[in-house]
Each structure stands twice: as structure tokens, then as C-alpha cells.
Amino acid sequence: MAEDGTSKSLGTPAGTVCDDDCSAFQWDAREDCEVRQILDRIADKWSLLVIALLDDRTMRFTELKRMIDGVSQRMLTVTLRQLERDGMVRRTVYPVVPPRVDYELTPMGRSLHATVQSLVVWTEAHQDEIAVSRERYDRSTGVEVVPSELVG
Amino acid sequence: MAEDGTSKSLGTPAGTVCDDDCSAFQWDAREDCEVRQILDRIADKWSLLVIALLDDRTMRFTELKRMIDGVSQRMLTVTLRQLERDGMVRRTVYPVVPPRVDYELTPMGRSLHATVQSLVVWTEAHQDEIAVSRERYDRSTGVEVVPSELVG
DNA sequence: CCGTATCCTTTCGGATACTG
DNA sequence: CAGTATCCGAAAGGATACGG
């Protein structure tokens, strides 16, 4: 992970975390605050899907790769490493040939997945309203989505 | 918004949305599914902060810009337009000079904010555990965070 | 005051090739 | 099988300048 810049400020200097002004103010602004980091993690392209799959059962690398389908092994590796680093995923290497590596969710990982479900539920409950809103907005602002011969 | 590619597939062809295989499978994979779109929205750099501020009270553009501090007016505009399109934010233009534009959260916007709060609460509850996990991971994988003269 | 347009840097993620 | 390394294109987002 040469691009990743893993050698960032670590160890949490025990003072840079956000206080109570977190709640309504800049709790989202920078990487100062933990909320942003978790948000970035669950919102990146593959993390949540990995978590969802592992919440069902322990899986091997290639299993995950097969099931996720669009993912490159690079991104799957990166994603799993981040989740492991954050303590959401446990990685177990069996010293056999060919190598076998199991991934499973930690209790914290399961807890995160459960929490995120509320958002999924919310989205499912509101997706129609959102779709309507978008259609109305796009019509009112005159976005061309269909070639004009369909209306002419 | 020339970069935005707003002329995407809209109108939901009433079949491309994810079904029940959504829950554990590819509900996260592509933009097919609404969950990913909402996730992208709340996880982008500024949306959630805007929502949090507007949940307190109606604000004008410049007010928001002043309070958010790091945001460029380009990104604030883009963010507000997206939120308006999705039906989270209501935009009111007063035809006066100089112009005055008010932004306020819709009921759906408030509802979204409330839902996201559970994630915030979760993060606050687990940030210590996450920090510990990261420290342990970084030590075990031997990431150089301090120049070696400190240990030598 | 409230934007839009243009340019530019940074970051994310895919493709591919190679290793233990 | 389970990665790692390198390269590259696409997209997000910041800086700046200009317009109604």
C-alpha cells in the first residue's frame, strides 16, 4: 500500500479528538473526528458489502472475491486490511499450502453492521419519496434525460 | 455543474431497483441500489455537516459558508443542490437585492439526520476500542510512525 | 449576496503483472 | 490461494475569476 499513506499520525495524542462541540459543529469537518473516519469507511465502495457478507458467516479471501463480483483483488485486500485495522474483521492465516486465510466479523463489526441497518431501513422507507423529489427537481431545472424526439 | 453528469438514468425504470436479494447481496454494489446513493450522499465531505446545521435552524447561504469554515462556495453550492434534489433541503429565494436565499431541512431531511445520529452515537461509543485496535495493528505490522532515533 | 465556469490537484479504485 | 507492486484513468474537491 504505497499510495495509502499509512504512516499518518497515529496513537491519538489524547487531546485532538472532538469534544462536545462535536455534536452540532465541526464533528464532520476533518479527520480530527472519529465519526468522519467511520463514515468514510462504511461509505467506501466495498466495506459495507464485505461486512454484510461476513455477518452471515466466516469466509475465505477467494470466496469473498467471487461473491462480490465487481471487486479487484487489490481493493478487496485494501478493504479487508482497513477493516482489520479498525477491529471490525478478524483475519486468520492457516500455515498450509496452498495458503488459507479466513475472515470473520468481530463483535464490534457485527455491532457496526447492526447499526448501519437502521440506515438501510430508512433508505428503503424513503426511496420512493426521494425518487419523486428528484424527478420533480430535474423537470423543474430542465435536465435533458431523454432525447427530444421522444417529446416532439 | 458541468462535471456532475446530472443527465444520468432517471425516472427509475421500475425494475432495476434491488429486490429482496438486496439485504445480504449486492445491495451495495452499484448505483442500482438506493442505499448506495444515500450512503454516498451522507458520506461526502459536507452534506452531513450541512444537515446537522440546518437541523438547528433555517440558514442563508453565507451563514452556512461562514459556519462550515473549510468549504468552498463551489462545494457548498453543489452539496446544497444535491440535498435539494433529493428532497432533504428546501431552498427559498427572495427576489430582493441583494439576493437572499434561505435553506431549511425538510421533514425527510430531519428524519435522515435523526437516523444518522445512531451512527454517531455508535462511533462515540466505540472510538476507544477502534483506537486501541489500530494501535495494536500498526505495531504488529511495523508501521514507522516515529523516527527510529526515538527507539534506538 | 449568491451563485457559475474553469482549471488544477488529490484521491479512489480498476487493470495488470508478478510472488510465496 | 492469497496476496503485493506498479501504472493509469476517473472522480471528488479546492482555488480562482467572473456574472446577475
From A48, A129, A143, residue closest to B28, measured CB to CB: A48
Contact B48 A28 (CB under 8 A): yes
Instruction: Check: pTM over 0.75? Answer yes or no.
Output: yes
Helix-helix angle A61-68:A73-85, to 10 degrees: 120
- Report whether pLDDT(B17) > 80: no
Q: Domain residue spans in chain B?
A: 31-141
The confidence score (pLDDT) of residue B143 equals 66
Residue B144 confidence class, pLDDT cut points 50, 70, 90: low
d(CA B75, CA B2): 13
**pLDDT tens-place string over residues B70-119:** 999 999 999 999 999 999 999 999 999 999 999 999 999 999 999 999 99
Residue numbers of A between 75 and 94 with CB closer than 8 Å to B: 84-87
| CA-angle at A47, arms to A43 and A49, nearest 5° | 100
User: Is A145 in Cβ contact with B10 (below 8 Å)?
Assistant: yes
In A, which residues are within 8 Å of B22 by CB distance? 124
- A95 part of contact set with chain B, CB < 8 Å: no
Instruction: Report the alpha-carbon distance of residue A123 to residue B33 in Å, rounded.
Output: 10
Domain B31-141 coded CATH 1.10.10.10: yes
Q: What is the pLDDT of residue B34?
A: 80
Is B134 in CB contact (< 8 Å) with chain A? Answer: yes
Q: Is the pLDDT of residue B52 over 60?
A: yes
**Strand C contact set, beta carbon < 7 A:** A 3, 40, 44-46, 70-75, 98-99; B 1-3, 60-63, 73-74, 77, 80-81, 91, 93, 98-101
CA of B71, C1' of D14: distance in angstroms: 9
Give the pLDDT score at A142: 74
Give the mean pLDDT of B58-77: 96
Q: Which nucleotides of D are covered by protein (CB under 7 A)?
A: 1-8, 11-17, 20
Give the CA distances from residue A110 to residues A75, A87, B30, B82, in Å, rounded to whole numbers and listed in that order. 21, 11, 23, 31
User: B57-73: b or e for each residue (b if 16 or more CB lie within 10 Å)?
Assistant: eebebeebbebbeebee
The CA–CA distances, whole Å, from A106 to A70, A86, B95 equal 25, 10, 56
* Å between CA of A70 and C1' of D7: 20
